[in-house]
Amino acid sequence: MKTLHRYILRDYLTLLGMSMMVTTLVLYLGSVMKGLDYIAQGVPGTLLIKVFTLNLPFIFTLSIPVSCLIASLLLFNRLSLDGEITALRSGGLNTLQIISPVIFCAIILSLGCLLIQTRIAPDSRFNLRKALVNVSEINPIDLLEEGRFVEFPGLAIWIDQKNGTHIKEIEIHERNTQGDVVQIMNAKSGEIETHQEFMNMRVRLHHVQVLHVSPDDPKGILNAKVVDMDAYDFDLSYEELLRNSNITRTIGDMRISQLIGVVKDSDKTFAQLDPLKKEKMRMRALVETHKRLGLSLGCLSFTLMGIPLGMNRSRRESNLGIPLGLSLVLVFYTFISAADSLRYSPWFFPDYLIWVPVLVLQIYGCILIGKMR
């Protein structure tokens, strides 16, 4: 039995290593393209190496589960077509005894992914953001952090989401020389245009509501004058911010313990936000926590589906295994992306939606394995 397990495990790890090399390289192409842009703009080679290295943990969280599926598909497809599965069953071994080393390996890989998702990847992403600040003349938008007030001279900006130069759900507090808030702007969306030679950003806001607040009024914002505008443009100088940048962890950079802390007590972490924004950040942290845990179990989920898909009796059935398996990968990550996009819509239960593909693949995979005789 030990010889059989060593034989299966050796072939599985070989296929797993080859699959990881290919999938990691494919997923890394986006970082390579960014690296070429950095090289063209004269970024030092040591910083480039640091950026590439810090991207690896995030890439591994995607490539390891997919590699588990490919490796289990190829291994049991070969064993089945070569008649080795039939020979082993004729020798008195059942399906569970044959696949047990692969299942054990998938569990170990899931635990490894859990460690990466909860500690290594968040730390790497945080260090990557700090490294990119050193080259923020290339992309000063990196200075604007999601879910945190960023202090500029005379004002503070809070951005809910950013995608390239596009930003959503913006809140701006403008202060006087004494530090009192005299104007609050809320906007649904906006765009940012950078002028690196002047260390300046031009911000255009859409669907803006401006509240003029009098610092001497005891009722404060309750007596604020409200002005609605379709668009509003203003300039920001980020030279001082670049010199005194203080990068803090956002939701995407937090370790799992920090995320749980936000979920339990968002008032402590985001004391400066209003109740609505606090609830948004709490939901964001909740979905992020479930997403990381669900993705960590992707290794086991894909393996449990890859084994029965690969263990087929005919070549016609085996030819369907690989495209069907890759389709499952697409569906799996589509659910994860959908849940992430619905993080501000709690009535859709996005934190539970993440577990749908995880549990369906595991349960259905176990059912298919149990039917094999």
State mean pLDDT over 298-302: 93
DSSP bridge pairs for 26: none
Query: Mean pLDDT for the chain?
Result: 81
At residue 318, does pLDDT exceed 60?
A: no
At residue 68, does pLDDT exceed 90?
A: yes
State mean pLDDT over 74-83: 84
At residue 220, does pLDDT exceed 60?
A: no
Q: Which of 179, 214, 244 is the last residue of a domain?
A: 244
> How sure is the predictor about 113, in pLDDT bands with cuts at 50, 70 and 90?
very high
Question: Within this chain, do residues 115 and 191 fall inside the same structural domain, yes or no?
Answer: no
Question: Within this chain, do residues 129 and 164 fall inside the same structural domain, yes or no?
Answer: no
Q: Which of 212, 227, 244 is the last residue of a domain?
A: 244
Could you report the per-residue pLDDT of 150-177, keeping only the tens digit for each? 777 778 888 888 887 888 888 888 877 7
Question: Within this chain, do residues 127 and 152 fall inside the same structural domain, yes or no?
Answer: no
Compute φ and ψ for 7, nearest 5 degrees: -65, -50
**97: in domain:** yes
Domain total in the chain: 2
State mean pLDDT over 316-321: 57
State the angle between helix axes of 315-341 and 298-310 in degrees (0 to 180), rounded to the nearest 10.
160
pLDDT at 48: 75
> How sure is the predictor about 79, in pLDDT bands with cuts at 50, 70 and 90?
confident
- In the DSSP assignment, the letter for residue 93 is -
Question: Within this chain, do residues 107 and 10 fall inside the same structural domain, yes or no?
Answer: yes
**271: in domain:** no
pLDDT at 137: 46
**348: in domain:** yes
Question: Within this chain, do residues 125 and 152 fall inside the same structural domain, yes or no?
Answer: no
What is the distance between the alpha carbons of residues 338 and 185, in angstroms, rounded to a whole number? 30
**50: in domain:** yes
Q: Measure CA of the first residue to CA of the last residue in the chain; give whole Å.
A: 19
Q: Name which of 111, 108, 99 is nearest 305 in CA terms.
A: 99
* Domain that residue 99 falls in: 2-135+285-371
pLDDT at 278: 79
> How sure is the predictor about 120, in pLDDT bands with cuts at 50, 70 and 90?
very high
**249: in domain:** no
**259: in domain:** no
pLDDT at 289: 92
